[in-house]
Amino acid sequence: MQADPGFRLLTDPPGAALYWQNEGNPLAGGSPMADLASVIGPVGVLLVLGWILKLFLTHRRRVKLSQLQYELQGKLLDKFSTSQELAQYLQGDAGERFLLSATVERSDPHTRILGSLQICLVLLTGGAALLALEGRISGADEALAFLGTLGVALGVGFGLSAGVAYLLSKSWGLINGGGSASRLPESS
């Protein structure tokens, strides 16, 4: 049986179990990175499963909300007997709100930007804390440096994302009425 050169087959006395040991792997053999990987793996899987569950529940809530909104709008439209009544209603303030509510997805830029800023601050703080602990815990320097650097890099990325989202939202007129966004014509 040929094996990868980085692996060697170890056998105990006859009848003992065979197993593989990776000689060149820094994650094998009780190193700090191996201990870190054994903790991060299950935590990462749980985080991904929680994120998938959150996405599923959010999607289900949006679908139900959209169905209720469509039913309400349908009932409201059925109340009008002529097209002139409907046109008159749509030209008023209540009609404008009705047309605006007909959009399926309304994105609030404030919420998205604040969410990115919160993630940015949490990751920056956590990454800085891990980098500060780097020389203080024996045998964990590599793991703390890796996680600290990753946290800081992701935090900076989320911060830049929030900044770009703010600037684009402001230039498109989604925040503070700046920019030249297309709006519904004023009713006369």
pLDDT in tens, 36-91: 777 777 888 898 999 999 999 999 998 998 888 888 888 887 888 788 888 888 88
- State which amino acid sits at residue 137: I
Looking at the DSSP assignment, which residues form a beta bridge with residue 9? Answer: 20
What total of structural domains would you count in the chain? Answer: 1
Kindly state whether residue 156 falls inside one of the protein's structural domains.
Answer: yes
What token pair was written down for 169?
A: 């939202």
Kindly state whether residue 21 falls inside one of the protein's structural domains.
Answer: no
**What H or E segment, with its residue span, contains residue 117?**
helix 109-132
Confidence band (pLDDT; 50, 70, 90) for 157?
Answer: very high
Kindly state whether residue 184 falls inside one of the protein's structural domains.
Answer: no
Residue 155 is predicted with a pLDDT of 96
Mention every residue, 6+ apart, whose C-beta is less than 8 A from residue 105.
Answer: 62
Q: State pTM to two decimals.
A: 0.53
What token pair was written down for 42?
A: 């299950």
- Residue 114 in this model has a pLDDT that exceeds 50: yes
What token pair was written down for 66?
A: 């959209």
More confident residue, 69 or 171: 171
The DSSP call for residue 7 is E
Kindly state whether residue 161 falls inside one of the protein's structural domains.
Answer: yes
Mention every residue, 6+ apart, whose C-beta is less than 8 A from residue 180.
Answer: 173
Residue 18 is predicted with a pLDDT of 43
Among 41-45, 96-100, 144-148, 160-164, name the most confident range: 160-164
| Residues 169/161, Cβ–Cβ less than 8 Å | no
| Residues 169/149, Cβ–Cβ less than 8 Å | no
Kindly state whether residue 121 falls inside one of the protein's structural domains.
Answer: yes
| Residues 19/10, Cβ–Cβ less than 8 Å | yes
Residue 33 is predicted with a pLDDT of 66
For range 162-174, the mean pLDDT: 91
Q: Please state, rounded to an integer, the average pLDDT across all residues of the chain.
A: 77
The range of the structural domain enclosing residue 122 comes to 108-175
